[in-house]
């Protein structure tokens, strides 16, 4: 084979390799951002507890503990598990179920996003309600504001517009999408609430202990773009 032939073969091989690399990059981009586990299934690394009556990081009675690959949340006293990092635009997803199904207990909890300092019951934030039958209601903590159905809401509760409730004893998947000033709550695949012009655009994320025992088997965050992270 002459020099020209070898050159053509080299160029053809290089072009083929470039095509394969482009395909690999496009395939990876099509998959979207890699989920970030907020709970790693083994311990509470990257999270810290705050329990009423105690200092940040103190949990002497084990309100939050990991057993059998799940976070077991006692429900009493009031408190939360908070991420150590702050996030801006993301989709946060939590899979949970109530540990008891008998009548009586007040099954209440919440997934709070864009949480601000200082720690306390409860920090300034937006809550996606996890209370049984009320999943997806907004609670605007600390006089945060959000526009829902064209009306600016300040503090308090904003009821959901649809229902994705499952019977007690079944696993639930609740998501909160924070995209700029828009926050969307999704319960078991159903969009139940949406607000715009959120007064906070960045903060930490927490899950509450507030009412009855709760099991969390998965808790993850998916960046919507190259979101900033920090401490």
In this structure, the answer to whether residues 94 and 27 fall within a common structural domain is no
Q: 36 CB contacts (<8 Å, ≥6 apart)?
A: 220, 221, 222, 223
Q: Are strands 79-83 and 204-209 parallel, antiparallel or unpaired?
A: antiparallel
In this structure, the answer to whether residues 47 and 101 fall within a common structural domain is yes
In this structure, the answer to whether residues 161 and 180 fall within a common structural domain is yes
Range of the domain at 44: 34-230
Q: How far apart, in whole angstroms, are the C-alpha atoms of residue 79 and residue 64?
A: 9
Q: Which two tokens stand for residue 4?
A: 């020209």
**3-class secondary-structure state, position 230:** strand
Q: How far apart, in whole angstroms, are the C-alpha atoms of residue 170 and residue 95?
A: 10
**3-class secondary-structure state, position 53:** coil
Nearest to 213 by CA among 70, 117, 12: 70
Q: How far apart, in whole angstroms, are the C-alpha atoms of residue 141 and residue 118?
A: 13
* DSSP letters spanning 160-183: -SS-----TTS-EEEEEEEETTEE
The pLDDT score that the predictor gives to residue 225 is: 76
Q: How far apart, in whole angstroms, are the C-alpha atoms of residue 198 and residue 83?
A: 20
The pLDDT score that the predictor gives to residue 5 is: 54
In this structure, the answer to whether residues 67 and 17 fall within a common structural domain is no
Q: Which two tokens stand for residue 151?
A: 């009306």
Q: Which two tokens stand for residue 101?
A: 């199904």
CATH number, position 153: 2.60.120.560
Q: Which two tokens stand for residue 89?
A: 């635009």
In this structure, the answer to whether residues 14 and 101 fall within a common structural domain is no
- Report the chain (231 residues): mean pLDDT per 10 consecutive residues: 53 48 44 88 98 97 97 97 97 96 82 97 98 97 96 95 95 98 98 98 97 96 70 45
The pLDDT score that the predictor gives to residue 33 is: 81
In this structure, the answer to whether residues 115 and 53 fall within a common structural domain is yes
In this structure, the answer to whether residues 116 and 200 fall within a common structural domain is yes
Q: Which two tokens stand for residue 100?
A: 């008891």
Q: How far apart, in whole angstroms, are the C-alpha atoms of residue 140 and residue 112?
A: 10
First-to-final CA distance of the chain: 62
In this structure, the answer to whether residues 54 and 27 fall within a common structural domain is no
Q: Are the C-beta atoms of 96 and 130 separated by less than 8 Å?
A: yes
Split into its structural domains, the chain has a count of: 2
Nearest to 222 by CA among 39, 88, 92: 92
The model's pTM is 0.84
> How many CB atoms are located within 10 Å of the residue 57 CB?
11
The pLDDT score that the predictor gives to residue 4 is: 55
Question: Positive or negative, the Cα torsion across 57, 171, 112, 42?
Answer: positive
């Amino acid at each position: 084979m002459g020099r020209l032939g070898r050159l053509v073969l080299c160029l053809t091989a290089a072009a083929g390799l470039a095509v394969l690399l482009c395909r690999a990059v496009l395939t990876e981009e099509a998959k979207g951002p890699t989920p970030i586990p907020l709970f790693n299934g083994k311990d509470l690394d990257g999270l810290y507890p705050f329990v009423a009556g105690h200092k940040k990081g103190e949990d002497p009675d084990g309100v939050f503990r990991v057993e059998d690959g799940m976070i077991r949340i006692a429900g009493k006293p009031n408190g939360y598990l908070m991420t150590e990092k702050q996030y801006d635009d993301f989709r946060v997803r939590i899979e949970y179920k109530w540990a008891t199904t008998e009548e009586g207990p007040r099954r209440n909890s919440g997934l709070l996003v864009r949480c601000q300092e200082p720690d306390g019951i409860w920090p300034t934030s937006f809550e996606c309600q996890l209370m049984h039958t009320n999943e997806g209601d907004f609670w605007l903590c600390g006089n945060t504001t959000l526009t829902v159905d064209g009306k600016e809401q300040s503090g308090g509760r904003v009821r959901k517009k649809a229902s994705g409730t499952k019977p007690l004893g079944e696993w639930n998947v609740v998501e909160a999408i924070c995209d700029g000033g828009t926050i969307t709550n999704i319960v078991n695949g159903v969009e139940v609430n949406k607000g715009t012009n959120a007064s906070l655009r960045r903060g930490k994320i927490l899950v509450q202990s507030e009412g009855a025992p709760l099991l969390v088997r998965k808790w993850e965050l998916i960046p919507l773009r190259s979101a900033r992270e920090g401490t």
